Structure 1
Amino acid sequence: MLSEHRITELDSGLRIVTEVMPSVRSAALGVFIGVGSTAETHEEAGLSHLIEHMLFRGTPRFESLEIDQIFDAMGAELNAGTGKESTSVYTRVLDNHLERAFDVIADMVWRPKFADEDLSAEREIVLEEIAMYEDDPQDKVFDVLGTAVFGDHPLGRAIIGRADVVAGTPAAGLAAFHGKRYVPGNVVVAAAGSVDHDALVAMVRDSSPAASPKIPHVATPVQLEARTQFLKKETEQYHVCLGAPGLARGDERRFALRILDNVLGGTSSSRLFVEIREKRGLAYAVYSFAAQYADTGQVGLYVGTRPDNVKTAMDVVRVELEKLRQDGIAADELERSKDNVKGRILLSLESTVARMNRLGSSLLSDMPLLSVDELEEKIDAVTLDDVLGLARELYAPERMSIVGIGTDESVFDKALAA
């Protein structure tokens, strides 16, 4: 059962959310900032990710090596991540180290140095990361799919950014982007575990800057035209993705979508896994996925297979999607998927990091923090008709973009032919 969470909003607009777990001695702490790749223009593509890297390059109070040494001495890991719509910096420490950990993280978030020499070195690291990413077709194919599904919409761009932007943006430009986006009203501090809410609020109040204008979210239209794209690359396998726009994160049908995704390809007993991998041995990796964003979402599936198996694998995908759209799922699949989703939620809530992430990401995106009982009610309320309706809407053939990466486009084209 979830403990009751507490939320405090400062005059600056910064919000603090905590959840006490009495049985643990540790605390997971995270700072969530409402900036990711969708906040960038084409000319800024990659600045959110580059800033995330630069946060670790030191502040006027802490040198980069000193930050590492502080967290090493606490037996803790300090990490960060950039997404489509947010950036987070987070750690898990013993409760007696929480104040020290927050002091360092807050300084990193609010006061990074952006020194020219540090930026020059970090640019090279990020450029190597981009190069490594470009060499990995199993990752690259998802951004090819994003471009196919969302077109020129910011959701269609890669989070990692463009090499020319990373290489060419000066320190002043990076600092200006940080100054506009890293503002109190665009930030949530979250903690879960052995934590005192009032003490954390006092820490945040003492360390955060005064209020400054928050850049409002502006909904942008999503390109709904389905596309087919192929990227030629020397690979042993062909990496194929199908996808389409999905549900926005506030859509109440998201619980039905989680059930649908589970049955299609989200577990080791799902339809795609069983039919493509277990029965026919056509792939090692095959799965479906679903993501939700502020204004829309994405559904899709991935298959990685050898050239001689591409057409057979895609024929199976077509059959399974058609069966799903025509007949929906069976009653036993519905109940098994409900139990799976509830089990995953409850198991994840034994982790302080999972609880902290749930608190921070939900509050940052203005989503309700549902109790376990409320979550179970939402999941249990999903019906066979709910799932069938979503399958027919989201996986309609005319909505589906198809992309592939491999050595010969003709192999891809033949696999798509009915």
Structure 2
Amino acid sequence: MTVRIDTLSNGFRVVTERMPALESAAIGVWVLSGGRHERAEENGVAHFLEHMAFKGTARRSAVQIAEAIEDVGGYMNAYTSREATAYYARVLGADVPLALDVIGDIVLNSVFDAREIELERGVILQEIGQAADTPDDIIFDWLQERAYPGQALGRPILGPSEAVRRFGRADLDGFVSRHYSPGNMILSAAGAVDHDELVRLAEDMFGAMKPAAVPPLETATFEGGDLRVEKQLEQAHFALAFEGPKITDPAIHTAQVYAAALGGGMSSRLFQEIRERRGLCYTIFAQAGAFSDTGMMTIYAGTSGDQIGELVGLTLDEMKRAADDMSEAELARARAQLKAGLLMGLESPSNRAERLARMLQIKGRIPPPEEVVAEIDAVGVRDVREMAGHMVAEARTALALYGPVSGAPGQQALQDRRAA
């Protein structure tokens, strides 16, 4: 399997990885702008735009867009994250040109019909309402806002209802004109693909786009804070974040190994101590996430209102203990989980295509899997213990609590527990 990269004269990049044993391919266009690239008053417009891309172009109606891919047995979808918007499809190898034609059409030629805007506005408002009614979804938006208050990175991807209610065609066109430029886009494909053919097709479809500067990214600063929403729910939901390394920091692998050992599976410390030994929760996990300029390690759990105080305290105790006695056996298990997750994921052309785009966005190159495996293997006990100690004693924190949380410790009590 060989990765190949080409750049058109206008800056549009094409990256592919042929997987000879496959009959199918994953292909998509990644626009390197997402929720955090929005202005404050247009929060949610990137996600709205992603929805509208499927609602009709100058060449195809919404039904024709769906039928074009499904007639050949494929599927197509899209997503908006904080740093990118992706439009992608999975098809048989022979249908890759068709998939690219449809994807290019919805990215470049959406008409943003007024009636369709109104219809989709209702759909998105329902999506916002559904998220608000799902505690273990909404709590992560609140946690993000507490970590980066008043900043683009802290705003929700879906946006607030009041903004979605007023978006019109001018808002969509404005975001496209500022961010959908060729140098800010990547065509990525993996599986049964022909690189040279894709470059030719990309030249035909995207080559006439004019280069344009993209607005500078607002730098994010993890500030932290505390948000508590008391509500009569069956469970008290707890989410805690610590400032972590950014995606290009070599320490990101230490954070990932630490998160896996602390709360990455059934054998992890948090799961064993808080669920298995104490029976305080059904779900508890830790994960390390990162952006281009910042990062955060997050711990989440749900428990009963009368046990939330004990759960929060034990979580901090486990983090403190990890700084003193995290073992090589635990880290070997965590490293194995991360490596297996990486390598198993690469068996999917969809995962490979996404990784190609993401790595090209972050690093400007595609590191081979063995390079990443070596970086994970290089994480040692001392590295993890030092990071654990820093997080529990010094790192800024953000906390979100939702439900019957009156029994949760206050901010000062948490700080005292960290310092004890």
Under a length normalisation based on structure 2, what TM-score does the superposition of the two structures give?
Answer: 0.95
Matches within 5 A, 1:66-81: 66-81=64-79
Report the alpha carbon displacement of residue 392 of structure 1 after superposing the two structures with TM. 2.1
1:388 has 2:385 as partner: yes
For 1:214-229, what aligned pairs fall within 5 Å after superposition?
214-224=213-223, 226-229=224-227
Matched, 1:166 2:164: yes
Question: Is the CA contact 2:222–2:294 (under 8 Å) kept in the aligned structure 1?
Answer: no
What letter matches 1:285 in structure 2? T
Matches within 5 A, 1:366-385: 366-385=363-382
Match of 2:331 in 1: 334
Residue of 259, 262, 273 corresponding to 1:261: 259
Structure 1 pair 88–69 and aligned structure 2 pair: CA distance change class (3 A) = same
Q: Where do 1:230-269 residues align within 5 Å?
A: 230-269=228-267
Structure 1 residue 219 displacement after superposition: 4.7
**Deviation at 1:260?**
0.6
Name the counterpart of 2:358. Answer: 361
Partner of 1:412: 408
Structure 1 382/126 Cα, relative in aligned 2: closer, same or farther at 3 Å? same
- Alpha-carbon deviations, 1:285-315, whole Å to 9, x = none? 1001111111101111001111122122112
- Count of aligned pairs between the two proteins: 413
Shift of residue 394 of structure 1? Answer: 3.0
The answer as to whether partners of 1:189 and 1:360 remain within 8 angstroms in 2 is yes
Q: Report 1:9-408 matches (<5 A).
A: 9-208=7-206, 209-224=208-223, 226-325=224-323, 327-396=324-393, 399-407=396-404
Q: Separation in 2 of the partners of 1:376 and 1:364?
A: 20
SS of aligned partner of 1:118: helix
- Which consecutive segments of 4 or more residues in structure 1 shift more than 6 A? none
Scaled by the length of structure 1, the TM-score of the pair is 0.95
Please report how far the alpha carbon of residue 367 of structure 1 lies from its aligned counterpart in structure 2 after TM superposition.
4.8
The SS at the match of 1:298 is: strand
How far the C-alpha of 1:413 sits from its partner, in A, is 3.8
Q: Which consecutive residues of structure 1, in runs of 5 or more, have no partner in the other structure? A: none
Percent of aligned positions that are identical: 34
Separation of aligned partners in 2, 1:399 and 1:364:
28
Residues 149-172 of structure 1 show CA distances to partners (whole Å, capped at 9, x for unaligned) of 111121111111111111102212
Deviation at 1:137, TM superposition (A): 1.0
CA-to-aligned-CA distance 1:3-59 (integer Å, 9 cap, x gap): 220000011111000001000100010110011111012101000000000001010
Question: Do the aligned residues in 2 keep the contact of 1:153 with 1:223 (CA within 8 Å)?
Answer: no
Are the aligned partners of 1:289 and 1:300 in contact in 2 as well (CA < 8 Å)? yes
Letter in 2 for 1:63: S
Residue pair 1:248, 1:296 contacting (<8 A) in 2 also: yes
Secondary structure at 2:26 match in 1: strand
Q: Deviations over 1:112-161 (max 9, x none)?
A: 11111110100010011001111111111111111111111211111111
The whole-number CA distance in structure 2 between the counterparts of 1:100 and 1:309 is 55
Tell me the alpha carbon deviations over residues 52-97 of structure 1, each in whole angstroms, 9 at most, x when there is no partner: 0000101010100111111211211111100011000111100011
C-alpha distance after superposition, 1:147-204 (max 9, x if no partner): 1111112111111111111110221221121121111111000000010000001111
Code of the residue aligned with 2:213 in structure 1: it is K
Q: CA deviation at 1:214?
A: 2.5
The DSSP-based 3-state class of the residue aligned with 1:151 is coil
The one-letter code of the counterpart of 1:379 is I
Q: Secondary structure at the match of 2:406?
A: helix
Q: Is the 8 A contact 2:47 2:80 kept in 1?
A: yes
- Looking at structure 1, the residues matched to 55 and 6 of structure 2 have their Cα atoms a distance apart, in angstroms, of 30
Q: 1:370 to 1:270 in 2, by over 3 A?
A: same
2 CA distance for matches of 1:41 and 1:258? 31
Partner SS for 1:250:
coil
After superposition, what is the alpha-carbon deviation per residue over 1:240-282, rounded to whole angstroms, capped at 9, x for unaligned? 1111221111101111111111101111211111111122221
Q: Is the 8 A contact 2:152 2:218 kept in 1?
A: no
Call closer, same or farther: CA 1:362–1:5 in 2, change over 3 Å.
same
Contact 2:5–2:16 (Cα < 8 Å) also in 1: yes
Amino acid at match of 1:150: Y
1:410 deviates by 2.2
Query: CA separation in 2, counterparts of 1:6 and 1:300?
Result: 35
Instruction: Give the counterpart letter for 1:353 in structure 2.
Output: S
Contact 1:18-1:192 within 8 A present in 2 as well: yes
Q: CA RMSD in A?
A: 1.6
SS at match of 2:16: strand
Structure 2, unaligned stretches of length 5 or more?
none
Q: Secondary structure at the match of 2:299?
A: strand
The answer (yes or no) to whether the contact 1:32–1:364 under 8 Å persists in 2 is no
Residue 29 of structure 1 aligns to a residue whose secondary structure is strand
